[in-house]
Amino acid sequence: MNIVITGASEGIGAALATQLGARGDRVVLAARRERELSEMAARSGPRALAVPTDVTRRAQVERLRVRAIDALGHIDVWVNNAGRGVSKLVAELTDDEFDSAMRDNVKSALYGMQAVLPHFLARERGHIINVSSFLSRVPMVSIRSAYSAAKAALNSLTANLRTDLAGSHPGIHVTLVMPGVVATNFRSNALHGTPAIRPGTGPPGIQSADEVAAAIVRVIDHPVAEMYTNPAHAVVAQRYFSDVDEFERATRLP
């Protein structure tokens, strides 16, 4: 398959590029950091292509699509993986901090969806994968308020696009992927860093980037509407939505 991955210079995107390249897929990697991106492409197979891209700029995302099609002939899968955390409580958020959360986590993915969709419509097939977060469903880490809100917005955009296409273009899949805590540099790269999470208040289970990437590989091969990369999170989300008041009382520390 021919696969575009944003946020591919490290973390989940880099692990995904490595796994896909190892099995023979052709990958186009996008991120802002040119040196790290080129090094990642060198580890992702002889036909991997690095395209330095700021995915918060629509024109650069459209250029990424053009470069990918020129290099590969067509695109089969587009993975919107780029994103960034913001560490601020709701009461403390500034306009700039909230705007940056929406820009980095929602608008970047929207640009990707809108860039590749005409190509998929013309081919009548394709797969868009949006990487969200378990926190978009269960707000267990309040310091991630703006990030959680942005990812919740991404969830809604993803679901709406999927329903828009389901009847008229069944060959185009749209998948939402929701990791929980992942052992990457995401914590340190977050705006304002990441303070220690109090015991008992965070999502259960820490996954490696390789584990999350392997889950995304599975959904590339077998598309579904949405997936928690840690199956335990689906159970937690069901508990949360079945009785929000009780869930919040049970998980609130004295």
Provide the pLDDT for residue 203.
58
CB 141 within 8 A of CB 135: yes
Q: Please state which of the ranges 25-34, 128-137, 245-254 shows the lowest mean pLDDT.
A: 245-254
Residue with tokens 């868009």: 128
Kindly tell me if the per-residue pLDDT of 192 is higher than 70: no
CATH number at residue 23: 3.40.50.720
Q: What is the pTM of this model?
A: 0.89
Task: Tell me how far apart the alpha carbons of residues 103 and 106 are, in angstroms, rounded to a whole number.
Answer: 6
Taking phi over 0 as left and psi of -120 to 50 as alpha, with beta for the rest, 71 belongs to alpha
Name the residue range of residue 147's domain: 2-251
Q: Tell me the average pLDDT across 95-108.
A: 96
Give me the helix-helix angle, 108-123 and 145-166, nearest 10°.
10
Q: Tell me the average pLDDT across 189-209.
A: 60
Provide the pLDDT for residue 200.
47
Q: What's the token pair of residue 146?
A: 């703006």
pLDDT tens-place string over residues 37-92 = 999 898 888 889 999 999 999 999 999 999 999 999 999 999 999 988 888 899 99
Task: Tell me whether residue 111 is one of the annotated catalytic residues.
Answer: no
Where do the H-state alpha helices sit in 90-194? 95-102, 108-123, 145-166, 186-189
Q: How many domains does the chain have?
A: 1
Cα torsion 27, 164, 159, 124 to 10°: value is -20
Kindly tell me if the per-residue pLDDT of 182 is higher than 90: no
